[in-house]
Amino acid sequence: MDLFKKCFDYTRIEDLKEAGLYPYFHYLTTGQDTVVQMEGKRTIMIGSNNYLGLTSNQEVIDAGVEAIKKYGSGCSGSRFLNGTLDMHIQLEKELAEFLHKEDCVTFSTGFQSNLGIISAVAGRNDVIVSDKENHASIYDACRLSFAKLLRYEHNDMEDLERQLSSIDKDKGILIVTDGVFSMSGEICNLPEIVRLAKKYGARVMVDDAHGLGVIGEGGRGTASHFGLEDDVDLIMGTFSKSLASLGGYVVCSAKVANYIRHNSRPFIFSASITPASVACARKSLEILKREPERVENLNKLGDYFREGLTKRNIKFIPGKAPIVAIWTYTDENSFLACKMLLERGVYVNPVISPAVPVGQSILRTSFTATHTKEQLDEAMDKIKEVLDIILK
């Protein structure tokens, strides 16, 4: 059989394009902001992870430009060898201090961070217990680690305990959960996860990609939100969202960080984060520390959007974070809604099977601290107009 047979038989994309419903790869001719130019048209952006509005911040832009002038465009090697700059070390120190941990290791992307962390700390004699709705990078990391993977029903603490109680006592155990779940905006039940981890001798890792800059004291994330920073062993995050850059990190104890640096293949064998990306992340972190009101305003906007949807009788998944998932139920409804909304100047993300179970498709909306209520009102009015047509 031809290896490429699966490629030639894959017609879903052509079918969607022929129907005019293909929702991906729309291009921007401006930077990320609350309102963008998408394919030549003014578009309200409520499908971005630019939570603090810093991708267009002049201080952040200037920091990136100055870093390129000083260090060049890249590092030409891995952190392990010639690719470590003083600014990498400074960023790691600043993140560790901000998140109240001993040490930090940075990675070139957020996806790579999970691959590098989990594959280093978990091995063949270990068991990873993962929430079923965790990010795809966590699943791939579990495969790379060769540890046994057990999954528990989403945010179901009874099922988590059932899985933990089935594990032999001679196995190392890592419980992994998203802090803020990226599709629904739900927050994990971290207090109960920590309690069960202590009961069964497990370690806890929180993927806080959508938690940093979003919840917690001064935007410190999920562990801070619950007052459990000392009880979470590994906190992972990314620079591509609140910190307006590219890359990722883990904060943890100094001993564990040192082990990861010397045993993580994705860390050892990847080129280090570019100077501009490091500088933009550092400047964004500086602004987050200086302007915690951005986090407060971001969450107020999330609440305002949920209240507005309720007033308009639009059904959504309840949550607290500035991510709101609106029910469309079927993949076809999601595709059509995205098309009709884009035509009306509103961008949202379709979330379809198999990312969600069949019949549970949604539109994922997310907000930026610099959105105005007028922009959100305009978007909600258009969402209602479209859903009234599709779901009638």
| DSSP-assigned letter for residue 177 | E
Q: Which two tokens stand for residue 344?
A: 């009306």
Confidence of residue 277 (pLDDT cuts 50, 70, 90): very high
User: Tell me, what's the pLDDT at 47?
Assistant: 96
Residues 204 and 320 in one domain: no
CA distance 238 to 281: 10
Residue 38's H or E segment, with its range, is strand 35-38
pTM for this model (two decimals): 0.95
23/164 same-domain check: no
Confidence of residue 354 (pLDDT cuts 50, 70, 90): confident
Distance CA 48, CA 33 (A): 9
**247 in the same domain as 169:** yes
For residues 309 and 238, state if they share a domain.
Answer: no
Q: Of 252, 271, 290, which marks where a domain is finished?
A: 290
- pLDDT surpasses 90 at 273: yes
Residue 32's domain comprises: 5-51+292-390
Where do runs of H (alpha helix) occur along 167-238?
Answer: 190-200, 222-225
Q: What percent of the chain has pLDDT over 90?
A: 97
CB–CB of 173/126 below 8 Å?
Answer: yes
Are 181 and 243 part of one and the same domain?
yes
Question: Which residues form the catalytic set?
Answer: 182, 210, 241
DSSP category for residue 274: P
Looking at the fold, whether 267 and 331 belong to one and the same domain comes out as no
Judge whether 342 and 379 are in contact, CB under 8 Å: no
* 230 and 173 co-located in one domain: yes
Chain-centroid distance, C-alpha 77: 26
Per-residue confidence band for 115, with pLDDT thresholds at 50, 70 and 90 = very high
158 has a pLDDT exceeding 90: yes
Termini Cα distance of the chain? 46
DSSP-assigned letter for residue 26: P
Q: Residue 88 sits in a domain of what CATH number? A: 3.40.640.10
> Is residue 79 located within the same domain as residue 212?
yes
Segment 349-377 mean pLDDT: 94
Average pLDDT over residues 129-148: 96
Same domain, residue pair 228 and 367: no
Residue 320 has pLDDT above 90, yes or no: no
CA distances from 161 to 169, 199, 282, 369 (A): 14, 9, 39, 37
Domain boundary, last residue among 263, 290, 317: 290
CATH number at residue 317: 3.90.1150.10
Question: Is residue 297 domain-shared with residue 281, that is, in the same domain?
Answer: no
Closest by CA to 328, choosing from 392, 379, 387, 385, is: 387
Average pLDDT, the chain: 96
Q: How many domains would you assign to the chain?
A: 2
- What share of the chain in percent tops pLDDT 70? 100
Q: Which residues contact 108 (CB under 8 A, 6 or more apart)?
A: 246, 247, 248, 270, 271, 272, 273
Q: Does 297 lie in the same domain as 280?
A: no
153 in the same domain as 43: no
For residue 14, count other CB atoms closer than 10 A to its CB. 10
Last residue of a domain, one of 290, 309, 344: 290
